Amino acid sequence: MVFKDVFRSCAFLATNSLVFSLRLPVSNHAANKAPEASPTPIAILLVVLILQITRFWFEMLHLIKKNLEQDCNLPIQIFSFLNSNITISRTNVLKGTASLLPASKSIANRALIINALAGGNSELHNLSDANDTQLMLKRIHTKEQIIDVEDAGTTMRFLTAYFTVTRQLKVLTGTSRMKERPIGILVNALRTLGADIKYLEKDGYPPLEIVQFDEQKTDSLRIRGDVSSQFISALMMIAPSLPNGLTLELEGKVGSLPYIEMTASMMKHFGVSCELQKDKVIILPQVYKPAPFTVESDWSAASYWFAFAALSEKAEILLPRLSLASLQGDSAIVKIMEPLGVSAAMENGLLKLTKKESQQEISWDFTHCPDLAQTVAVVCAAKGIKGYFTGLESLRIKETDRIAALQQELQKIGGTLIELDKAHWTLEPSRQLPQQASFNTYKDHRMAMAFAPLATLMNVEIEDKAVVRKSYPNFWNDILSFGFPMK
């Protein structure tokens, strides 16, 4: 479509130039005759030149696209504007390195907030190129009053707490989906602390306005632990800057506990201590100290390569900059994927994934690693492995309702995700896979990347390929490097 649009635009310009040239008067020596319109040599030359340029660009764009489909060394972004979808042809023997694996955006965004609270002088290395982190990097020091975080959940929640404690009067807004993601628990907590925060549209949801924060009214808060650990982490990071510190009493089941532990560990790296108890976090008033910090690779992004390995006929996949002793909760993918047919071991500083025998069923609680659920569900459905899952509740309030999205898209390969009650789900696997399938992403990066590994078993089309920029901008380029034909 773009080639046609380019050609049409240039042709339109050429046509108008010709019409203009036909209207140029030429001298006429016949008496009593008005000047007649006749094309000048310059006008004719102009039209020919425009047509030649149009033809050149049309052929060049076609050549770029053709070469890209044949040459894995060319970056896929060159023709990203040509089509919003991407098609991956089946390839089932994988060997190579996912060299463009991104840094952890969860760690990077925490580092940016803590560094800002420490004065902004720390040397931060290997920051994520994910859109969420780039948004945080650009927004945290801006002097603009209106802050658009687009679809970045951590950026919205962390900046709300940060701008409040640093007494910056801001309006925070985002995409239409962001305006559907609840933030009331965090805002209520900040209001209890003494902040004046107003909702500009719907109560409990962005956009919101931070009006003022004069003084701390309490040093203790009760907060639910079963909705989003990002609310708890946001309050933990600002707690040392409060005159009286802060004690958080966590109510109910605490989800994504590793992310809370990650926050505490990073705060300690920058000179602040936290006391983590079973249902309580105690943080005294302290001062962050600048310190150099290097962000490790993202285990959430790595999980998709575990899926590629699990679904392939043969695999030898290397993943860089990962640690088996990671702060990230999603490093649990190592244990989850072992019964699904993937062996992981460190080799020369890289994590090496290879094939092994898989089991017939799996049970897993995703309470502390919900971002892995989509990946695991797809692998189970495709491999004929029955799954018994708990801890999926928070998936309802992510970039999309991920439970509903999974139920819809798994049907395309014959899988079924059954909700038994609010806490338990059963995954009934496929009995026969189709030769090809097209999957909707629901504007969710993890939907795109969870279903992409099916290209080891069938031809796959992913709608809206650009969504991966949120967390893994070079995902398609890494896939290309493993020899998958793509267009």
Catalytic residues: 371
Tell me the C-alpha to C-alpha distance, in Å, between residue 176 and each of 33, 181, 280, 443: 66, 9, 34, 11
Q: What does 364-431 look like in DSSP terms, one character per residue?
A: EE-TT-GGGHHHHHHHHHHHT-EEEEE--GGGGGSSS-HHHHHHHHHGGGT-EEEE-SSSEEEEEPPS
Q: Strands (DSSP E) along 93-219, which ranges? A: 93-97, 124-125, 146-148, 171-173, 195-199, 208-213
The side-by-side arrangement of strands in the sheet containing 424-428 is 361-365, 386-390, 424-428, 416-419
What is the signed CA dihedral for 235, 237, 238, 241, rounded to 10 degrees? 140
- DSSP strand pairing (25-26 vs 36-37): antiparallel
> Order of strands across the sheet with 459-462?
86-88, 459-462, 436-439
Residue in 122, 477, 86 with CA at minimum distance from that of residue 292: 122
- In a 10 Å sphere around its CB, with 0-12 CB exposed, 13-18 middle and 19+ buried, how is residue 278 labelled? exposed
